[in-house]
């Protein structure tokens, strides 16, 4: 269970550039919720994910995971519960290390297991199996330096690394936006497989309306630092782009779809 209450964050407070990026966000995610987050540029989507991850220091509000208050913990100490994949594949992986070294580092994160143990024959067999599931051929390249991979291969690796620790919350911030369509599709399929198999609680930001409607059991729309729509289950499944547009024309003619 993920519980965020009253999240507020203003950037450049008190100056002419003041931006209220989060304006009192309340969000509860049940175990296994796969919530897709949409909203135009500057709506506060990345700030919300960064606040959950501990990258952004909140002005007020609390973040708890499984009943544990994480509000005051820095990002690295939240890593046990919260994993992330960003738009830029270079952020989630270490280019100077090999694929297997990256996986070993991810596996030892927040744990006592040593890198040596992870890089055993059994460890390598497990890594090959994890990578084969993505279908990008990484399983035969364990000793390849990650800087030599394509952006999509690197992003797929970042995803495997993020989910291998069985996080309580997976945060995906436009993680396929920088990829070519075919690779984006492969990374999205790997995401769906990982999220479904492990029943991961996930918050995924996308600017792709098709993805937003197709994936997840819940759709959250943000505008001006607030959640303006939060639908789940059958109501989400029945949504169409036209319905979304119509609905938001009714309350406000400033359409927020990017
Ligand atoms: N580090 C920052 N410094 C100053 N302003 C920021 C920073 N990060 C985000 N903002 C501002 O906060 C608002 C929300 O940004 P962001 O969360 O990145 O939106 P989104 O991801 O929905 O496009 C925007 O007005 C943005 O300019
Ligand atoms: Mg963003």
Domain boundaries of the chain, sorted by first residue: 2-95+151-251
Q: Name the phi and psi angles at 122, rounded to 5.
A: -65, -40
Taking the CA of 174 as reference, the closest ligand is 2
3-state secondary structure of 8: strand
Half-sphere exposure of 65 (CA within 13 A, CB side): 20
Ligand nearest to the CA of 37: 1
- Provide the CATH number for the domain formed by 2-95+151-251 in this structure: 3.40.50.300
From the CA of 32, how far away is ligand 2's center (Å)?
23
Ligand 1 atom closest to residue 48's alpha carbon, by position in its atom list: 17
pTM, full prediction:
0.91
Query: Which residues are within 5 Å of ligand 2 (an ion), measured at CB?
Result: 45-46
Q: Which parts of the chain sit beneath pLDDT 50? A: 250-258
Q: Around Cβ 208, how many Cβ atoms within 10 Å?
A: 17
Q: Which of 36, 38, 42 is the best mutation target for the ligand 1 pocket, counting ligand atoms within 8 Å of the beta carbon and taking the most?
A: 42
Q: What is the largest CA-CA distance in the chain?
A: 60
**Are 161 and 103 spatial neighbours (Cβ–Cβ below 8 Å)?**
yes
| pLDDT for the residue 100 | 95
Whose alpha carbon is nearest atom 7 of ligand 1?
Answer: 11
Tell me how far the alpha carbon of residue 111 lies from the centroid of ligand 1, in angstroms: 33
Please report the pLDDT score of residue 154 as a whole number: 93
Instruction: Indicate which ligand has the atom closest to the C-alpha of 25.
Output: 1
Output Rg (C-alpha) for the chain, integer angstroms.
19
pLDDT reported for residue 227: 97
Of ligand 1's listed atoms, the one at least distance from the Cα of 47 is: 17
pLDDT of residue 255: 42
Residue nearest to atom 26 of ligand 1 (CA): 42
């Amino acid at each position: 269970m993920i519980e965020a209450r009253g999240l507020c964050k203003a950037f450049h407070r008190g100056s002419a550039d003041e931006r209220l990026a989060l304006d009192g966000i309340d969000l509860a995610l049940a175990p296994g919720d796969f919530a897709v987050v949409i909203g135009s540029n500057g709506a506060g989507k990345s700030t919300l994910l960064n606040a959950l991850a501990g990258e952004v220091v909140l002005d007020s509000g609390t973040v708890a995971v499984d009943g544990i208050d994480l509000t005051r913990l820095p990002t690295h100490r939240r890593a046990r519960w919260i994993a992330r994949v960003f738009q830029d594949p270079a952020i989630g992986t270490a280019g100077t290390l090999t694929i297997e070294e990256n996986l070993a580092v991810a596996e030892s994160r927040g744990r006592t297991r040593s890198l040596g143990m992870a890089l055993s024959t059994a460890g390598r067999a497990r890594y090959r199996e994890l990578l084969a599931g993505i279908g990008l051929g990484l399983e035969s390249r364990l000793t390849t330096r990650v800087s030599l991979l394509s952006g999509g291969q690197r992003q797929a690796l970042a995803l495997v690394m993020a989910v291998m620790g069985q996080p309580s919350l997976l945060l995906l911030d436009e993680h396929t936006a920088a990829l070519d369509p075919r690779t984006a599709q492969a990374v999205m399929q790997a995401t769906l497989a990982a999220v479904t198999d492990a029943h991961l609680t996930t918050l995924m930001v996308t600017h792709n309306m098709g993805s937003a409607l197709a994936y997840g059991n819940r759709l959250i729309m943000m505008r001006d630092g607030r959640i303006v729509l939060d639908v789940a289950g059958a109501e989400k499944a029945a949504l169409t782009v036209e319905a979304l547009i119509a609905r938001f024309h009714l309350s406000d003619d400033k359409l927020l779809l990017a």
